[in-house]
Amino acid sequence: MGAKGPRVAVTGAAGFIGRALVAHLRATGYPCRALVRNPPRNPMGEVVVSGALGPESELQGMLRDIDVLVHAAWRIPQRRSPGPQTPAQYCQETTETLANLARQAGRAGVRRLIFLSSIKVHGETSRPGKPFRPGDIPAPAQLYALAKCSAEQALREAAAEIGLEAVVIRPPLVYGPRVRGNFRTMMVWLMRGVPLPFGAIDNRRSLVALDNLIDLLTTCLAHPAAPSAVLLPADGAAVSTPHLLTVLGRALGCPARLPRIPVPILRLGGLALGRGGSFDRLCGSLEIDVAPARGQLDWMPPVDMESAVAATAAAFLSERASKR
C-alpha cells in the first residue's frame, strides 16, 4: 500500500473513462501511473507510453511498485474496414492480450486487477421485468461483447493460476462531459430541433454517469469484497428513451420533439433501412439490477441522473460555444 492508499496503474488512461479516473485518483491522493498508447498532448502526471497492448507486450517493468491495475483500454473492432483480421482472430487477440496483462501484472507484484468489461456480455436487450444480474448466463450477441466475455474468462483463469485478485465491472452506456458516440449524437439531434419519433416507446434502459462509474472503480481498489466480484453499475432506476430525451432536452434548453409513432412501424423502418441494431439500442430495454453491486460493496452512486445529464449538457454547450 502507498502512504495514501494503493498504488494504481490505469491502461487506456487517455480515453474517456481512463482520463477521468486518473484525474480523480490524483485529486483524491492516490499514487497513480497512467499507461497510454501514445504520448499525451496535455500533461497527465506520471505517464508511461506502453504502445498498443497485445498478446506479446512486455509490461512487467511498467507495473512494478503497483498494487492495483485498472484495465480500461480496449481495441474496438473495425466494422467498415475489417482488414485481414477475422472476427475469430480479433476475439483471440483481445483475449490473449488480457491474459498476458494479468500474468505480467502478477509477476510484477500487482495484487488486484480491475477489468472494465461491458453489460453487452449479457446481450443487447433485457426482457420485460427481467433486469440483468451478475449471475445470469452470458449471452453476447456482437463481436465486441463476445470478445469481452472471452477476456473475462481468460482473466479468471490467469488470476487463479498466479494468485491475482480479479474484479469485473460490466457498465452500460457511460455518459458525462466530453462523451462521444450515441449520447453525443442525441444532443446534436436535440440542438437541431430534429423530431425524434420515439414518443410511444415504453422501454427501460439503465445508464451510468461517468462520475458514478469512477466512484465505483475507486471503491473497488481496496474493498475486501471486490475480489472475484462481477459488478453491474447504474445510476439508479432505469429510464425510458423518451424520458431520457426529455431530461436531456431540458438541460440543453431545447425541448425534445417526440412524435408518437407506433413501435411496430419504427421497427419495420429500422429493418428496412438495415438499422435493426440501432433500433434495439434506442427502443429496446437494457435494464440492470443494481442491488447486488450496492449490497456487495455497500456502494451508492453519488450523483443522480438529472444532475449528471445537466453536467454533460453544460459541457457540450461550452464546447460548442468555444468553437464559434
Catalytic residue ranges: 144
User: How far is Cα 242 from Cα 204, in angstroms, rounded to an integer?
Assistant: 10
CA distances from 105 to 18, 71, 156, 276 (A): 18, 11, 14, 41
The torsion region of residue 127 among left (phi > 0), alpha (psi -120 to 50) and beta comes to beta
Chain center to CA of 20: 12
CB atoms within 10 A of CB 253: 10
User: How far is Cα 312 from Cα 317, in angstroms, rounded to an integer?
Assistant: 9
- The partner residues of 260 in beta bridges, in order of sequence, read none
